[in-house]
Amino acid sequence: MITIGVLGLQGAVDEHMNQVKSAGEQAVLVKKPEQLGDIDGLIIPGGESTTMGKLMDHYGFKEPIAAFYKQKKPIFGTCAGMVLVAKELCSSEAPHLELMDITVKRNGFGRQRESFEAPLLIKGMDDPFQGIFIRAPLAVRVSENVEVLASFEENIVAARQEHVLISAFHPELTEDNRFMQLFIDMIKNPVY
């Protein structure tokens, strides 16, 4: 059994914890930077990316997460987490962690009222995955080192670069743990 930490500063923390457990792995709520040494992978959940970025600064998470990344430990960013791991943002806002070579547009599909669900064809999955998009970002640019896993209406909504996985949608809000299993497989079978 592996231990997956969920960054517990703000956002869909409980839903991620529950999905990790439903996939048969151990979930740990990460509230202090020193906890990163005790986990095999880290989930940065959806929420409000600007607020989460400020909280990461306030609680001293940026450098420890960068060190976690340099140790080649997998990181999974969903929705706001996708914004936080991007090397570049379309807005004038400075990037946060700069771990993945993508450019992200916050609220790429619109505000809260434009939230929606759609079946997605995800690389490596035989059947469609129901994507839940809530004020979702999208990747407007990816480098050649980034593997695109899913697009919606020609917009990139899931990708992987070495040991970083991102999704613009919220897999933790479904009963389907196949996308979480992608992350678990990255931890158990590293290929970087």
- The alpha carbon torsion through 98, 134, 151, 88 (nearest 10 deg) reads -20
Instruction: Just list the catalytic residues.
Output: 79, 170, 172
- Compute and round to an integer the Cα radius of gyration of the chain: 15
Which two structure tokens, joined as six digits, stand for 68?
């976690």
Q: Cα separation of 136 and 25, whole Å?
A: 27
Q: Cα separation of 35 and 3, whole Å?
A: 11
Q: Choose among 122, 116, 125, 132: nearest CA to 174.
A: 132
CB 28 within 8 A of CB 41: no
Q: Cα separation of 85 and 100, whole Å?
A: 6
Which two structure tokens, joined as six digits, stand for 29?
């709520």
Which two structure tokens, joined as six digits, stand for 99?
């771990």
Residue 189 buriedness (CB in 10 A; 0-12 / 13-18 / 19+)? exposed
